[in-house]
Amino acid sequence: MKQPKASASRRSFLKVSALAGGGMLLSFNFWAQAKPLPGQPLTDAKDWVELNGYIKIYPDNSIKIINPNPEFGQNVMTTLPMIVAEELDVDWQKVIVEMGPHDNVKLGPQFTGGSNSTRMYWKPLRDAGAAARNILVQAAAQTWNVPLEEVSTKQGMLYHEKSGRSGMYGDFALKASAIPLPKNPKLKDGRNFTIVRSAQKNVEGMKIVTGKPLFGLDYAHEGMLVAMIEHPPAFGKKLQSFDASEALKMPGIRDIFSLPLYPENYEQSGFDTRTFNDLLVVVGNTTWEVMNARKKLKVIWQPIESSNEIIAGFRGKTNVTIPAGLENTDEQLAKMAAFANQPAQLLRKDGDPETAFKNAAQIIEHTYTAPFLAHNCMEPVNCFAYVTDEKALLVAPHQAPGWIEPSLSKILNLSPDKIEIQIVRMGGGFGLKAYGHFLTEAAIISKKVNAPVKLVYSREDDMTYGIYRPMYTATYRAALDKDKNLLAFHVKGGGIPEHAVHQNRFPAGAVDNYLAEGWAIPTNITIGAFRAPGSNFNAAAEQSFLDELAEAMGKDPIDFRLELLQRAKEKPVGRNNEYDADRYMEVLKLVKEKAGWNDPANKKYSRGVAAYFCHSSYAAHVIDIVEKNGKPYIERVTSAVDCGIVVNPDAATNMVQGAVVDGIGNALYGGITHKDGVPGQNNFNRYRLIRMREAPERIDVHFVHNDIDPTGLGEPPFPPVFAAVANALYKKTGKRFYNQPFYKDIPNA
Amino acid sequence: MAILSLTVNGKKHQVDVDPKTPVLWVLREHLNLTGTKYGCGIAQCGACTINLGDTAVRSCQLPVSSIADKAITTIEGLSEKGDHPLQQAWIEQDVAQCGYCQAGQIMSAAALLKTKPHPTDDDIDAAMSGNICRCGTYLRVKAAIKTAAKG
Ligand code: FES
Ligand code: FES
């Protein structure tokens, strides 16, 4: 596909064109390189075929709206077209939604992650819908020869009340397509929304419950072969040699070979990722046959040497050290404890924390740890590729194909317009599927065998490949005076191979003397983004510490946070505080009310609270534990979230409930350990995931109602769950939980 | 390799496969019935759940030779028009997030309702705890089962 030029203006503009068969197509452009050409009609049918815009209207009034962004369960297939439909003013029930092609020129960034989908598409999609409605109104006004202001729309119909005339959008679509588009179409007043803020069902719901082939792994192609990669059993090892003679004799096997993922001296992009560069590939007719043949491979692995990699990421080039050696969890923990006592990088300092700690009447200090986490998407990593010398087709369950296309272009030696990447529904992503190694792997394997190939990771391959959530630790300290006033706050966080400290987040800004520091230990275990990167540990540790601090100060944990936030609002300390204290307080107050925090009827529960801000949104949870079958059971969760305007409330509720369940599961059970570089968990018999019987009976989700443009939702409710679990477990057991996963410290869990 | 005949969703099929091949892969790669999902391959996640008669089984651990004379139902055959009470309830409760686990969830639930048309919460927990949902839709799965049981 075409790539936006680097010099491109980020301004978006809209294009309209006639559709073969008499309709119009409105396409919309994020990175128009030339000066915006609003309204320049394109009447050549060929042009429209190439445009792939957002809205298609047919003469029979059917409306097709394209979803631009990859779907991995956050429900953008439904939510984003709802935004277009709202401004277009059509009957949502009559809208057909289609997944758009991969095209960063016409369809924008097409990136799922960072809780960005709705945030980044909100305004552009409203513009797209409003502009289309505008020219339809103009077309009707011209046809009826009446003033523009007298034409109204409703649910895909145009009306002129005075003369009693009306018509369908479809009647005017062709005419409208010749009318220049308005530069700044008037958007609806939010109070008049009828689709946005209404609960609409997943447009793919029926396909999902009837088992239609929606996912990458379901893709099939004439003559398709299956490939699997045998990767080293341990981090810190690489391929030395292999003997495939037995494996090649297995039924259905076509080829076995090794080849490098990236060529020598290849400069990696931030999302290229290479855990293991030497690919040992088995290609056969079916997955089962390839799985069986792999067992017959005789492979000798050798230790890696330490190396440096230059990675050209979003923030420029970084030099990453990859040490040799086979790592062990015990040693990793010991190393982290040792590093925690050494000088670290200063991240932020307000006031004079050193003196405050020196003069403190009491210092409270606690250290928290969390393990590597595997994403464990239900759909293991996979990708289809068909690469020839002339072109490449990839069908990729990927969160951001546009990030990987430049790499494919370089490696395959094909210009981007010769590379087609089809976006398919992902069976979960959680950050893992933003990384691109598996697209490149599939592509070079297909090229090598000169056939269409589906690369399949077994669950074991998927879980032991790395790209884990990093291993983290943080030590929190608070200085109190003799009257138990908070004098100073100190966080020193570290991790393998990065720390999670967000130095400008709460309680920064609320404490006069504040110090944040960070450090990191290199590793050969690869890491990557995992639902709310950094935040997912930061919130866990910080919000547990605040709970303990409130207790030491003799305060209610919610009131204590509210006091700090009030301070941050009235007299903020320092600069660059990222959060809005009012919105933060609002979710705490809402959760306090909805959970009946002070209601004596809730005394039967052991209750824990936590709140957090990330991805521009705010979330707070109260977790209620009871005893069931002799162990603590999280029976009920009350959640309060401020993510601005909630486009699709029931789907948003589902997302928050899922984040809560995911948070409980990872807090209680998650973790990858290592012994001599070998992951201790390679499938769900050893990696425990939360199951129905451990999920809460109720998760009540409450949204703050406001008119703020949508902010993130997929991630923000996730991080505070961990701490709410820890704090509730403390109330239940009388023991503080500092080290994830918590189940190890819960009797009979 | 051997020619085996099997009955899937009421239709007879003949496949030429290694008799040890799990039903999961026969469905997905020989019969193009990809609604049944691969998640773990070791009977731990339930993504591959099908019905063998009235019983929910994990097709990833079921050699195709073992079902030669038995009838199996997959998600594609649960109803003709997607109108099985569970499918309808799933839509009513808008259960799915990514959707990958849901075929397996529905097939486990279908077997449960055959033996226990009015299951208790504990029955549901027991029948459904072999099905992992990484997206965490358990509450809605349970609600949908109750909706279907009522209707
Ligand atoms: S794939 Fe069969 S239970 Fe997981
Ligand atoms: S809906 Fe995603 S795994 Fe269940």
- Domain at A260, CATH number: 3.30.365.10
Residues A152 and A294 reside in one and the same domain: no
- Identify the pLDDT of residue A107: 84
Q: Tally helices (H) and strands (E) across chain B.
A: 5, 5
Q: Is residue A91 part of a domain?
A: yes
A312 vs A576 pLDDT, higher one: A576
Residues 6+ away with beta carbon under 8 Å from A456:
A217, A226, A227, A228, A287, A290, A380, A382
User: How confident is the model over B115-122, as a mean pLDDT?
Assistant: 97
Residues B9 and B48 reside in one and the same domain: yes
Residues A224 and A122 reside in one and the same domain: no
Q: Are A623 and A608 in contact (CB under 8 A)?
A: yes
A679 vs A52 pLDDT, higher one: A679
Whole-number Å distance between alpha carbons of A370 and A722? 11
Helix (H, G, I), strand (E, B) or coil at B58: strand
- Identify the pLDDT of residue A699: 98
Of A207, A230, A251, which marks where a domain is finished? A207
Strands A307-313 and A316-322: antiparallel
Which residue of A lies nearest to B142 if distances are taken between CA atoms? A692
Q: Is A208 in the pocket of ligand 2 (CB under 6 A)?
A: no
Helix (H, G, I), strand (E, B) or coil at A660: helix
Residues A569 and A708 reside in one and the same domain: yes
What residues of chain A, 248 to 267, have a C-beta less than 8 Å from chain B?
Answer: 251
Whole-number Å distance between alpha carbons of A210 and B102? 9
Residues A484 and A423 reside in one and the same domain: no
Q: Which of A70-74, A538-542, A558-562 has the lowest mean pLDDT?
A: A70-74
| Three-state SS annotation for A11-77 | CCEEEEEEECCCEEEEEEECCCCCCCCCCCCECCHHHHHHHCCCEEECCCCCEEEEECCCCCCCCHH
What residues of chain A, 215 to 234, have a C-beta less than 8 Å from chain B?
Answer: 215, 217-218, 220, 226
The CATH number of the domain holding residue B50 is 3.10.20.30
Q: Are A419 and A394 in contact (CB under 8 A)?
A: yes
Interface contact A629, partner B, CB < 8 A:
no
Q: Which of A156-165, A178-187, A291-300, A423-432 has the lowest mean pLDDT?
A: A178-187
Closest-approaching ligand to the CA atom of A689: 2
Interface contact A654, partner B, CB < 8 A:
yes
Of B22, B45, B78, which marks where a domain is finished? B78
Contacts of B101 in chain A (CB under 8 A): 378, 427
Residues B111 and B71 reside in one and the same domain: no
CB pair distance less than 8 Å for A654 and B141: no
Whole-number Å distance between alpha carbons of A436 and A452? 19
Residues A734 and A593 reside in one and the same domain: yes
Of A456, A483, A517, which marks where a domain is finished? A456
- Identify the pLDDT of residue A11: 33
Contacts of A668 in chain B (CB under 8 A): none
Closest CA to A49 of A87, A106, A91, A7: A106
Strands A678-679 and A617-628: unpaired
Contacts of B134 in chain A (CB under 8 A): 376-378, 428, 430, 662, 689
Whole-number Å distance between alpha carbons of A565 and A510? 6
Residues A557 and A655 reside in one and the same domain: yes
Q: Which two tokens stand for residue A616?
A: 């521009």
Residues B73 and B24 reside in one and the same domain: yes
- How close A438 gets to chain B, by Cα (Å)? 18
Q: Print the domain residue range for A300.
A: 216-307+381-456
Whole-number Å distance between alpha carbons of A577 and A613? 11
Closest CA to A82 of A197, A205, A214, A206: A197
- Identify the pLDDT of residue B123: 98
Q: Is residue A672 part of a domain?
A: yes
In ligand 2, the atom with minimum distance to the C-alpha of B98 is: 2
Helix or strand holding residue A287 (H, E): helix A287-294
Rg (CA), chain B: 15
User: pLDDT of B33-86, one tens digit each?
Assistant: 999 999 999 999 999 999 999 999 999 999 999 998 899 999 999 999 999 999
Rg (CA), chain A: 28
Any long-range contacts for A555-564 (C-beta under 8 Å, 24+ apart)?
A: A557/A609, A557/A727, A558/A588, A558/A591, A558/A592, A558/A597, A558/A609, A561/A588, A561/A611, A562/A588, A562/A589, A564/A486, A564/A506, A564/A507, A564/A510, A564/A511
- List phi, psi (to 5°) of A683: -160, 180
Q: Are A236 and A324 in contact (CB under 8 A)?
A: yes
User: How confident is the model over A278-285, as a mean pLDDT?
Assistant: 98
- Identify the pLDDT of residue A318: 87
Q: Print the domain residue range for B41.
A: 2-78
User: pLDDT of A126-157, one tens digit each?
Assistant: 999 999 999 999 999 999 999 999 999 999 99
Residues B63 and B97 reside in one and the same domain: no
**How many domains in chain A?**
3
Count of other CB atoms within 10 angstroms of residue B115: 12
Q: Is residue A109 part of a domain?
A: yes
Whole-number Å distance between alpha carbons of A133 and B4? 59
Q: Which of A104-108, A112-116, A617-621 has the lowest mean pLDDT?
A: A104-108
- Identify the pLDDT of residue B34: 98
Q: Is residue A370 part of a domain?
A: no
Residues A605 and A673 reside in one and the same domain: yes
Residue of A201, A210, A378 lying closest to B87 (CB–CB): A210
Residues A657 and A701 reside in one and the same domain: yes
What residues of chain A, 7 to 46, have a C-beta less than 8 Å from chain B?
Answer: none
Q: Is B99 in the pocket of ligand 2 (CB under 6 A)?
A: yes
Residues A447 and A577 reside in one and the same domain: no
Residues B23 and B91 reside in one and the same domain: no
What residues of chain A, 347 to 386, have a C-beta less than 8 Å from chain B?
Answer: 376-380
Residues B68 and B6 reside in one and the same domain: yes
Whole-number Å distance between alpha carbons of A210 and A278? 40
Q: Find the B131 Cα to ligand 1 centroid distance in Å.
A: 9
Q: How confident is the model at residue B91 (pLDDT cuts 50, 70, 90)?
A: very high
Taken in order A173, A177, A178, A180, is the CA torsion positive or negative? positive
- Identify the pLDDT of residue A313: 80
Helix (H, G, I), strand (E, B) or coil at A202: coil
Helix or strand holding residue A655 (H, E): helix A649-669
Whole-number Å distance between alpha carbons of B103 and B24? 13
- Identify the pLDDT of residue A101: 87
Closest CA to A73 of A476, A483, A378, A417: A378
Q: Are B15 and B3 in contact (CB under 8 A)?
A: yes
Residue of B39, B74, B90 lying closest to A459 (CB–CB): B39
Strands A419-423 and A392-396: parallel
Whole-number Å distance between alpha carbons of A116 and A79? 13
Residues A400 and A448 reside in one and the same domain: yes
Residue of A214, A654, A693 lying closest to B140 (CB–CB): A654
Whole-number Å distance between alpha carbons of A417 and A572? 51
For A286, counting Cβ atoms within 10 Å of its Cβ (0-12 exposed, 13-18 middle, 19+ buried), the class is buried
The CATH number of the domain holding residue B106 is 1.10.150.120
Which residue of B lies nearest to A462 if distances are taken between CA atoms? B40
**How many domains in chain B?**
2
User: How confident is the model over A489-504, as a mean pLDDT?
Assistant: 97
Contacts of A203 in chain B (CB under 8 A): none
Of A187, A207, A227, which marks where a domain is finished? A207
Residues B103 and B143 reside in one and the same domain: yes
Which residue of B lies nearest to A374 if distances are taken between CA atoms? B134
Of B32, B63, B78, which marks where a domain is finished? B78
Residues B67 and B90 reside in one and the same domain: no
Residue among B64, B134, B137 with most chain A CBs within 10 A, to mutate: B134
Total number of residues shown for chain B:
151
Contacts of A287 in chain B (CB under 8 A): 25, 28-29, 38
Q: Is B97 in the pocket of ligand 2 (CB under 6 A)?
A: yes
Q: Is the ipTM beyond the 0.85 threshold?
A: yes
- List phi, psi (to 5°) of A431: 110, -35
For A414, counting Cβ atoms within 10 Å of its Cβ (0-12 exposed, 13-18 middle, 19+ buried), the class is buried
Residues B21 and B42 reside in one and the same domain: yes
Residues 6+ away with beta carbon under 8 Å from A356:
A479, A487, A488, A512, A513
Closest-approaching ligand to the CA atom of B100: 2
Of B60, B78, B96, which marks where a domain is finished? B78
CB pair distance less than 8 Å for A209 and B102: yes
pTM summary value:
0.94
C-alpha dist (Å) from residue A100 to A69, A81, A438: 8, 11, 22
Which residue of A lies nearest to B135 if distances are taken between CA atoms? A658
Whole-number Å distance between alpha carbons of A160 and A146? 8
User: pLDDT of A198-255, one tens digit each?
Assistant: 999 999 999 999 999 999 999 999 999 999 999 999 999 999 999 999 999 999 999 9
Which residue of A lies nearest to B85 if distances are taken between CA atoms? A209
In ligand 1, the atom with minimum distance to the C-alpha of B41 is: 1
User: pLDDT of A577-622, one tens digit each?
Assistant: 999 999 999 999 999 999 999 999 999 999 999 999 999 999 999 9
Total number of residues shown for chain A:
749
Instruction: Round the average pLDDT of chain A to a whole number and report it.
Output: 92
Closest CA to A519 of A539, A492, A538: A492
C-alpha dist (Å) from residue A557 to A205, A422, A632: 41, 49, 21
pLDDT of A14 > 70? The answer is: no
Residues B61 and B33 reside in one and the same domain: yes
